[in-house]
Chain A
Amino acid sequence: MEVKLRIFRYNPEVDKKPHYENYTVEAELTDQVLDLLNKVKWDQDGTLSYRRSCAHGICGSDAMRINGVNRLACKVLVRDVGTNITVEPILGLPVIKDLIVDMEPFFEHYRSIQPYLINDEPPPVRERLQSQEQRVRFDDTTKCILCAACTTSCPSFWASGEYVGPAAIVQAHRFIFDSRDHGAAERLKILNDRMGIWRCHDIYNCTDACPREIEVTKALGEVKVAIATGKVD
């Protein structure tokens, strides 16, 4: 079948402002949107630029706006979105070229929440013990691949790029609720900031956008409760 693609294009070395280009490619229902972009790049226009690597939804390189919602190009198939597809860069981060955005502000927010285990006690020779119940408590947020689909779907982040954003809070959640970690109080203090978690207004775009099916809004809710009550459980 024929698929019509409308793709956001911007080359900073040539273009004064962005524009859209139309392409038609032969495709099957099971083709990924990433396959379609590859067909354009390989057979029609080598200058089309985007990030990609693993091509099965794990590396997190190819988060894009596909027909107006944030998705990984390798996790959306033609059968999911039909034969007229608009592809644009994710919003809220500066566009560098075509579908490539500057990820630095995103990773800066990630680094700000101390995304590493904090525990200064000398470890035992073998593993630290953790019950299956304690382990399940933070399982959902360990799935995050830092693709930025959630953060760049959030209207609060669009309004201010200083907002730490859902991805960073998901990463904080992964440690706050880990029984081995001792840094919860510090992280909750960071997230209680003016540009912290209270910018989240339960819009749920993030949950819809997450390609890993993390219940993002729920995780943020648990962090809010922890700040409000001063208790982590």
Chain B
Amino acid sequence: MRHQYEVVIVGAGGAGLMAALYASKTAKTAVLSKLYPVRSHTGTAQGGVGAALGNLEEDKPEWHTFDTVKGSDYLGDQDSIEFMCQEAVPTVYELEHMGLPFDRTPEGRIAQRPFGGHTNNVSGKPVRRACYAADRTGHMILQTLYQQCIKNKVKFFDEFQVLDVLIENGVAAGVVAAELLTGEIHVFHAKSIIFATGGWGRVWEITSNAHSYTGDGVAITMRRGIPAQDMEFFQFHPTGIYKMGILITEGVRGEGGVLINDEGERFMDRYAPTVKDLASRDVVSRAMYLEMRDGRGINGRRFLYLDVRPDTVNKFAALDGKTRPDGRPYQVTGDEILSKLPDIIDFCRTYLAVDPITQPMPVQPTAHYGMGGIPTNMFGEVVKDEKNTVLPGLYAAGEVACVSVHGANRLGTNSLLDIIVFGKQAGIKAAEYASGASFPSLPKDADGFLLQQLESLRGEKSTVKVSDIRREMQEVMMADVGVFRTEEGMAKALQKVRELKEQFKEVRVEDQGKVFNTDLYEAWELGCLLDVAEVTAVSALERKESRGAHAREDYPKRLDDEWLKHTLATLKPEGVDLKYKPVTLTRFEPKERVY
């Protein structure tokens, strides 16, 4: 079936919905999503959205900008970061005006809590910048934006999985999607296309990410010749539930929780003497790995304790001289912890039979967030080469995009900020472009490339299993393209991923039907994961330095002279082609990064 919309948005998480609200004001807009919008991964974000509102203490967007630049290990583009941190303030107010139920200060303003890497730039101490709704801020953002879309009668195609993008004569022309209910293939002819498909944490074994986070957007665009930027930078969040990877928000540490090793020591003292447990995520994850490697995991095992028991919190708050906004010493009760972190407490009770008010939580670093992705400028426009040439009609926003505001390491609360600020920009720009453009011509064989991909997954039964290939990929990427990396390990991982790609060609799905053939689309998604894993490993192997989330044991220093540049990886039949482009520096000269 054929459809025609001026703007087509792929993905209905925070970025897609924000884009939809803005694009649909002036352009005929459709949102396609493989999930019902309220199932999107934005809903799992917990701790807060960063904005220097200064509701509890002095703060300013300039400080937020510097913290983000520093957090990015100077790989973030400073013009885009400054734009995001300035826009943060009015955009968070906009969410409140839409009805978002933020927690409140005693004065009735939006409540804010400390988060890793966010500081008062004068004192260097943590600042309360994360605007929150208990520990379900992402859930409330997703719900609020979806509510507004209903109010504004946005057109949705729910459970339509986009599988290909059409680019004709260098201009975006449409997307091809499968309707999961019927298996029918639909072609959406469009003037503007916005990719907002989220991340690819399922490349790794231990991850906080949803089963559906399979890198579709990056894989689809790479297969059509668009490069992927900075894919070697993937964030491992320090506190995932042991073995399961389920996220425990950094807000736990914001409320005073601390990480403890087998000797009962609060070890972050040694790694980040000023902000301690609230250092950047890459710093904390590496510290945890080193503790475990030196035998100080709990009982010598691969986890540490995250302790938010009131006695522990109060002891370390007193040692740190931590105070409330009104100057009183910071002391908490179990009830206060429960009211600020209800979902975390529930996760631990459900999955671990551990009550965090009386017991510490076993945690390990978990694959969490892709800093890289489809290259864009700060207007959400996709840029296709090292000269930042815009590809007309194609946009990306949210985790799938690389603006780059997160550089080599994202600060907590900046992903929710990214989706609302750049989702909005992409929506505005896509509609503007559509108003001045005519519909481009569609290729004759619009669904041909996709049908060929799906056809190769059907047919005679085979013994090669999707689940085996996926597990092997996840294990090798976790072991060798994880928190710490070496030439030897990554080369091994890359070879393995390439072998698995060969094996993947033999996969044939069991389900031969049309209706909700989840077997087929899960196999297709594995193909995306494999492409993303390969590009990640190649980009990482080539970058011979340590920066942010990319930590090499064989090249432990950041080398600005050679490597202060973005990677652009292009998928070719014979492998991956790497190019580089400069980082935009404005006010902040790169310097050593200490917390």
Contact = CB atoms under 8 A, between A and B. Distances in A.
Contacts of A139: 101, 134
Contacts of B513: 11, 13-14, 47
Given A54-B43, A180-B99, A60 B38 contact: yes
B39 interface: yes
B346 A123 contact: no
Contact of A12 (B244, B511, B515): B515
B199 to A, nearest CB: 13
Given A59-B44, A59-B210, A115-B150, A11 B39 contact: no
A115 B40 contact: no
17 contacts: A12-B515, A13-B513, A42-B466, A46-B511, A47-B510, A51-B39, A56-B244, A59-B38, A60-B39, A100-B516, A115-B150, A123-B97, A126-B53, A127-B109, A127-B110, A128-B97, A134-B108
Interface in A5-46: 11-14, 30, 41-43, 45-46
Interface in B185-221: 210-212
B509 interface: yes
Contacts of A181: 99
Contacts of B350: 57, 75, 77
B475 interface: no
A229 interface: no
Given A115-B150, A125-B93, A145-B38, A135 B101 contact: yes
B104 interface: yes
Interface string B517-528: 111000000000
B332 to A, nearest CB: 17
B147 to A, nearest CB: 4
Interface of B: 35-36, 38-41, 43-44, 53, 93, 96-99, 101-110, 133-134, 136, 139-140, 143, 147-148, 150-151, 181, 210-212, 244, 246, 343, 346-347, 350-351, 353, 465-467, 509-511, 513-519
B212 A47 contact: no
A226 interface: no
Contact of A53 (B96, B147, B148, B212): B212
Given A59-B43, A135-B101, A126 B136 contact: no
Contacts of B244: 56
Interface of A: 11-14, 30, 41-43, 45-47, 49-61, 75, 77, 79, 96-98, 100, 103, 107, 111, 114-117, 119, 123, 125-132, 134-135, 138-139, 142-143, 145-146, 174-175, 178, 180-181, 213
Given A116-B151, A127-B109, A178 B43 contact: no
Nearest to B246: A56
A198 to B, nearest CB: 25
Given A56-B351, A116-B148, A117-B99, A13 B519 contact: no
Contacts of A111: 150
Contacts of A96: 181, 515-516
Contacts of A12: 515
B528 to A, nearest CB: 16
Contacts of A127: 93, 96-97, 102, 109-110
A55 B210 contact: yes
B246 A130 contact: no
Contacts of B93: 123, 125-127
A52 B211 CA distance: 7
A132 B106 contact: yes
B346 A213 contact: yes
Interface centre among B41, B97, B510 (most CB of A within 10 A): B97
A115 to B, nearest CB: 5
A143 B136 contact: yes
B515 A11 contact: yes
A96 B182 CA distance: 10
A99 to B, nearest CB: 10
